[in-house]
């Protein structure tokens, strides 16, 4: 299948596209935050995010997965795009329900999906304008054609977006004026996410230093984002704009735009994201540098504690135990519920949390439809088992108290089945053991020393036993921590 091109024969996908030029642009980070808020303000999208997304509890994991997905969707190789589009459609087809006002939502709604693409395009145009590098008409039309092609790759056509750029602005303003709301998801992004953003793996060893930096950067990011939103939406949503926020926003975009003067290749977004995601026990060569940085950050954290103690989010509460596990390798029920089971961060365990686990595991292993469906079905069976055993008040979900009162019920037959299905999905060659490459695909690291191996492989019994012990909350400090517990 040949790649679509513009009239000037400029590729709409691949390294020569306008979109690809933004991947390593620091301004794109600001634009993406802005676009995400505009997406979340759409009632259908906001409801789907509130019920299903892990962006609150695991924002760095969500960032990495979104970045890699967009890389694939704008890849020059058509089969790669088609495979990723099919994966995204399967993922979204599993997300439907009702919002807090009883209005139905469906993540496959074509108008809502078109709005996601529209916010990305409009935010890219806005970021260029705010940074003093406005796009000319020809470049803007080329980029709009790229985004419409992106939507067509997902939906089969781009009919939900106007064909002509001149008509797009009328469409965009109409949605902003008539459809956007001050949704819970938008408020969480603006007023909770930045203030409570967990540290990425790179900075996990310096919680005080991270808390100090977040206390300054969080409100600034929120103010910059609010100031950059369309004025009609800010007015209708009643979003406060602090004095000087407009100048702060302009300065932030202008400063980020200065990166264009750096030598090409100095900023690589994929490398930055991968580095932030490195776990301390990874065998990646970059970990040596990260370890040295961690040591320096711990010293800085110790100094900050002396100068002005801040609440250490990672410090154990009374009776909670160490966040990295005690000598017995056990973690408290409260910590396991918060870090592992409550994937969406809403304080409850229900089906969207287990679906998020299945989604992350499927993404890691890049599963095709049959294996992906088997994994989701296994998690669904586990959820039914948990609901029967733990949902004592019959509200359809499990809170922390209900969980703590029946912890042994986690390790039932359905959980063992989840482990077996995951083993089969990881064992790509069907050899009956997980070799080093297959193990790395799931955990992004080499075999751990504390894992029993034979003939260079991980056996089914070892894998199932370790997975069940972790998911039942019996063991910490396993390779599963970075998989499902880290942010």
Supply angle C-alpha 109, 113, 117, rounded to 5: 170
**What domains can you pick out in the chain, each with its CATH number?**
19-260 (no CATH), 333-485 (1.10.238.10)
Which residue, among 242, 5, 38, has the nearest Cα to 125 in the 3D structure? 38
Contacts 24+ apart (CB under 8 A), 289-297: 290/202, 293/202, 294/202, 294/205, 294/206, 297/203, 297/205, 297/206, 297/209
- Spatial separation of the C-alpha atoms in residues 290 and 280, rounded to whole Å: 8
Residue 277, SS3 per DSSP: coil
- Spatial separation of the C-alpha atoms in residues 107 and 391, rounded to whole Å: 27
Q: What is the DSSP letter of 2?
A: P
Note down pLDDT in tens along the chain; length 487 residues.
Answer: 444 554 456 788 888 888 888 888 889 999 999 999 999 999 999 999 999 999 888 888 888 899 889 989 999 999 999 999 999 999 999 999 999 899 999 999 999 999 999 999 999 999 999 999 999 999 999 999 999 999 999 999 999 999 999 999 999 999 999 999 999 999 999 988 888 888 887 677 677 778 888 888 888 999 999 999 999 999 988 987 778 888 999 999 999 888 878 887 777 777 777 777 766 666 666 656 666 666 666 666 565 555 554 444 444 433 333 333 333 445 678 888 888 899 999 999 999 999 999 999 999 999 999 999 999 999 999 999 999 988 889 999 999 888 888 765 677 899 999 999 999 999 999 999 999 899 988 987 777 544 455 567 899 999 999 898 888 876 665 678 878 887 7
- Spatial separation of the C-alpha atoms in residues 76 and 315, rounded to whole Å: 46
Contact 472, 411 (CB under 8 A): yes
Which residue, among 257, 254, 438, 464, has the nearest Cα to 378 in the 3D structure? 464
């Amino acid at each position: 299948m040949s790649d679509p091109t513009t009239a000037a024969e400029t590729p709409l996908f691949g390294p020569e596209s306008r979109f690809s030029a933004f991947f390593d642009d620091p301004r794109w980070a600001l634009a993406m935050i802005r676009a995400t808020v505009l997406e979340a303000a759409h009632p259908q999208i906001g409801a789907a995010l509130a019920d299903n997304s892990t962006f609150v509890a695991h924002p760095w994991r969500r960032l990495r997965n979104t970045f890699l997905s967009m890389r694939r969707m704008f890849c020059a190789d058509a089969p790669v795009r088609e495979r990723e589009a099919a994966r995204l459609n399967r993922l979204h087809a599993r997300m439907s329900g009702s919002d807090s006002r009883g209005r139905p939502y469906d993540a496959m709604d074509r108008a809502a999906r078109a709005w996601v693409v529209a916010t990305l395009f409009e935010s890219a145009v806005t970021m260029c304008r705010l940074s003093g590098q406005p796009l000319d008409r020809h470049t803007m039309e080329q980029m709009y054609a790229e985004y419409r092609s992106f939507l067509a790759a997902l939906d089969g056509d781009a009919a939900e977006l106007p064909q002509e750029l001149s008509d797009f602005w009328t469409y965009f303003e109409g949605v902003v004026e008539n459809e956007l709301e001050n949704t819970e998801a938008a408020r969480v992004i603006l007023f909770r996410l930045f203030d409570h953003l967990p540290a990425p793996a790179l900075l996990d060893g310096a919680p005080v230093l991270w808390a100090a930096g977040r206390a300054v950067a969080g409100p600034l990011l929120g103010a910059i984002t609010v100031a950059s939103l369309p004025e009609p939406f800010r007015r209708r949503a009643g979003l406060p704009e602090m004095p000087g926020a407009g100048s702060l926003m302009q300065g932030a975009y202008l400063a980020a735009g200065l990166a264009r003067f750096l030598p090409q290749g100095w900023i690589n977004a994929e490398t930055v994201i991968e580095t932030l995601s490195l776990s301390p026990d990874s065998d990646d060569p970059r970990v040596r540098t990260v370890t040295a940085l961690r040591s320096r950050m711990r010293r800085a954290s110790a100094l900050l504690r002396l100068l002005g103690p801040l609440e250490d989010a990672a410090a154990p509460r009374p009776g909670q135990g160490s966040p990295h596990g005690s000598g017995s390798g056990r973690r408290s029920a409260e910590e396991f519920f918060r870090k592992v089971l409550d994937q969406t961060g809403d304080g409850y365990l229900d089906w969207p949390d287990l679906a998020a686990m299945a989604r992350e595991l499927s993404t890691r292993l890049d599963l095709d439809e049959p294996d992906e469906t088997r994994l989701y079905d296994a998690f669904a069976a586990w959820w039914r088992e948990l609901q029967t055993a733990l949902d004592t008040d019959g509200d359809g979900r499990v809170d922390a108290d209900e969980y703590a009162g029946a912890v042994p019920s986690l390790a039932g037959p359905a959980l063992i089945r989840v482990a077996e299905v995951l083993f089969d999905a990881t064992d790509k060659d069907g050899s009956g053991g997980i070799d080093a490459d297959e193990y790395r695909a799931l955990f992004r690291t080499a075999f751990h020393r504390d894992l029993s191996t034979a003939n260079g492989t991980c056996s089914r019994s070892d894998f199932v036993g370790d997975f069940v012990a972790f998911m039942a909350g019996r063991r910490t400090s396993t390779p599963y921590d970075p998989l499902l517990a880290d942010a």
